[in-house]
Structures are given as C-alpha cells and as structure tokens.
C-alpha cells in the first residue's frame, strides 16, 4: 500500500483518489525521449491570484504519472493564467523594455548598470502640494486618490524592479550595545 500511496502522492494532495482518474491511451514522452507512464487524467479548475489580487482561472485536463511528484502546467494553461503571452515565444517581445536609456538629471547616462523599462524615472519625493486641485470631500475621494497616486508615481509609488533604489544619506547607523554584554542565544519563542 505505501507504494500505491507514493504513486498517487500529488493526486491525494489535490484531494483526489485514483478512482477520480479517467483512463486513457494518451502517450507522453519526457525530454530524454523516454515514455511517461500516464496513470489517468482528470479535469481541474485552476485558480491563481497575482500580486495585485487579480484572479485568473483555467480549466485543464490534468494527467497523473508515477514518475514525478511535481505539477506541470501546459502552454495553454500558462496562457490562460497570463503567465506567458498568447504568441509566446516571440522574438523581440520584450524589446519595448529596452529601447530607452535612463538618464540622470543632467541628461548624461546613469553610472549604474543600464536600467531599461517603461516605468517613470525614479525621483526623490516632491514637496507636498500647497493646495489640492479640488476640495477634499467624500465626493472627490476617488479623484483625490488618483491625483496623489499620479503626483507621487515617480517617487513614493514607483515600484519598478529595474531601477536602483536611492541610497540613504547621512552618517552610518550606530548600534548602542554595551561592550561588556555577553550574547545569549534563546531557542524558544517569546510569548
């Protein structure tokens, strides 16, 4: 029985049993051209959420094998879940990220490695606006939110992964530790 349990490990983790599998005659080959033993298939509804909380879903026929405990997504599932574009792979697909060299305030190229993308150039936060473009009322809440997001987009709300974060200025942080203190390790959580 342990061998049977190991063969269907991933299936059990999905809350399914071998009786949920649809028998089939499908043949699959691994990257080394060896046969993959297909134990059966089942339809799954796959839901995934991105970092912004947007949900994507797909329905796919999923095949179970006894030679892997991993879950592999088909190209179609990756397209449905917006992991890759429909025309993947397409040469030059990411060229729009690399068509502009970021420049510093004087107009000369940055000394840091070339950071290329369509994001706004990272800047220091501007001073707060002296007055709002419209009254701060409940009716204008959404407009005010959009205004502030746009106002601070190049600075505070710039989440670009391609640009370096600005370095902190000032003296190094000093840790005030008693030089005569003996360090002690605690291996139990603090209540």
- Based on its alpha-carbon atoms, the radius of gyration of the chain, rounded to whole angstroms, reads 27
Task: Please give the pLDDT value at position 147.
Answer: 92
Please tell me the distance from the alpha carbon of residue 112 to that of residue 163, in angstroms, as a whole number.
Answer: 9
**Token pair for 111:** 């000394």
117 falls in which pLDDT band (50, 70, 90)? low
**62 with 113, same domain?**
no
Residues pairing with 109 in the sheet: 103
Asked if the model's pLDDT at residue 72 lies above 70, the reply is yes
Residue 183 inside a domain? The answer is no
Domain count, the chain: 3
Q: Residue 78: which H helix or E strand, with range?
A: helix 75-80
Give this prediction's pTM: 0.44
Inform me whether the pLDDT recorded for 36 exceeds 80: yes
Same domain as 144, residue 108: no
Q: 66 CB contacts (<8 Å, ≥6 apart)?
A: 7, 37, 39
DSSP assigned state of 114: P
Residue burial 84-113, b: 16+ Cβ < 10 Å; e: rest: eeeeeeeeeeeeeeeeeebeeeeeeeeeee
Instruction: At 41, list the tokens.
Output: 């298939």
Does the residue 177 lie in any domain? no
Residues 6+ apart with CB under 8 A from 76: 58, 60
Q: 17 and 62 share a domain?
A: yes
Specify if 138 maps to a domain. Answer: yes
- Residue 164 within any structural domain of the chain: no
Distance CA 77, CA 86 (A): 11
Does some domain include residue 85? no
pLDDT score at 50: 83
Q: Average the pLDDT over each of 27-36, 42-51, 70-79, 90-99 and give the range with the smallest value.
A: 90-99
Please check whether residue 45 is in contact with residue 68, taking contact to mean a CB–CB distance below 8 angstroms. no
Mean pLDDT of 128-139: 90
């Amino acid at each position: 029985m342990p061998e049977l349990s190991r063969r269907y490990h991933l299936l059990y983790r999905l809350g399914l049993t071998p009786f949920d599998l649809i028998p089939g005659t499908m043949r699959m080959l691994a990257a080394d051209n060896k046969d993959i033993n297909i134990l059966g298939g089942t339809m799954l509804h796959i839901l995934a959420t991105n970092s912004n909380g947007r949900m994507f879903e797909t329905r796919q026929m999923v095949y179970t094998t006894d030679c892997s405990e991993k879950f592999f997504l088909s190209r179609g599932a990756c397209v449905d879940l917006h992991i890759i574009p429909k025309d993947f792979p397409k040469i030059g697909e990411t060229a729009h990220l690399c068509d502009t060299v970021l420049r510093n305030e004087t107009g000369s190229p940055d000394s840091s490695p070339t950071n290329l993308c369509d994001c706004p150039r990272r800047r220091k936060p501007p001073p707060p606006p002296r007055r709002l473009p419209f009254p701060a009322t409940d009716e204008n809440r959404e407009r005010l939110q959009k205004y502030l997001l746009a106002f601070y987009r190049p600075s505070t709300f710039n989440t670009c992964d391609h640009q370096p974060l600005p370095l902190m200025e000032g003296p190094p942080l000093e840790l005030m530790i008693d030089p005569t203190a003996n360090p002690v390790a605690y291996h139990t959580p603090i209540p």
